[in-house]
């Protein structure tokens, strides 16, 4: 594993221990996933950087997490800790408006 990636994971594991995150994915409760873990922004603030504002690769990801760390520490309630699999699911569902989300959940609950 690359050194920058190690540093990113160290930051994530440290932040995951904040009370708010209970050291586990909000959805499936795993504490670590082979595909990685991430902090989902429940609410972005105006003028705040996103991951895409940083360069591609581990260097950019490390810079992003160094940027994000104090923001998460200051206000963990603005974030959810998720495995990448469930972060992908949440991100996908966010593409739809509330009515469509409701209909999707209704259908999912009815389906066997």
Shortest CB 53 distance to Zn ion, Å: 26
- The residue (of 49 and 89) whose beta carbon lies closer to Zn ion is 89
What gap in Å lies between CA 29 and CA 21, rounded to an integer? 10
- The residue (of 8 and 82) whose beta carbon lies closer to Zn ion is 82
Q: Which residues are at the interface with Zn ion (CB under 5 A)?
A: 25, 27-28, 83, 86
- The residue (of 72 and 83) whose beta carbon lies closer to Zn ion is 83
* SS3 assignment, position 94: coil
Shortest CB 9 distance to Zn ion, Å: 16
- The residue (of 28 and 59) whose beta carbon lies closer to Zn ion is 28
What gap in Å lies between CA 60 and CA 69, rounded to an integer? 14
Shortest CB 35 distance to Zn ion, Å: 10
22 touches 62 (CB < 8 A): no
Which one-letter DSSP state was computed for residue 81?
E
Shortest CB 41 distance to Zn ion, Å: 17
What gap in Å lies between CA 108 and CA 112, rounded to an integer? 8
């Amino acid at each position: 594993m690359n050194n920058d990636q190690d540093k990113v994971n160290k930051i994530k594991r440290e932040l995951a221990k904040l009370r708010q995150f209970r050291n586990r994915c909000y959805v499936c409760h795993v504490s670590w996933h082979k595909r990685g873990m991430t902090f989902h922004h429940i609410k972005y603030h105006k003028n705040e950087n996103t991951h895409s504002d940083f360069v591609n690769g581990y260097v950019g990801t490390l810079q992003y997490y160094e940027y994000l760390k104090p923001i998460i520490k200051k206000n963990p309630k603005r974030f959810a800790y998720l495995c990448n699999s469930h972060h992908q699911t949440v991100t996908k569902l966010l593409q739809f408006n509330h009515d469509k989300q409701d209909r999707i959940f209704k259908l999912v609950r009815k389906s066997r």
